Amino acid sequence: MIRLAVFASGTGSNFQSIVENQISYKVVVLISDKINSYVIERAKKLNIPYAVFNPRDYDSKDNYELEILKTLLVHEVNYIALAGYMRLIGNILLNNYKDKIINIHPSLLPAFKGKDAIRQAVDYGVKVMGVTIHYVDFGIDTGNIIAQEAFAIKNNMTITEIEKKIHQIEHKLYPKILNNL
Catalytic positions, written as ranges: 105
What does 49-111 look like in DSSP terms, one character per residue? -EEE--GGGSSSHHHHHHHHHHHHHHTT--EEEESS--S---HHHHHHTTT-EEEEESS-TTS
- Phi and psi at residue 180, in whole multiples of 5°? -95, 0
d(CA 55, CA 105): 22
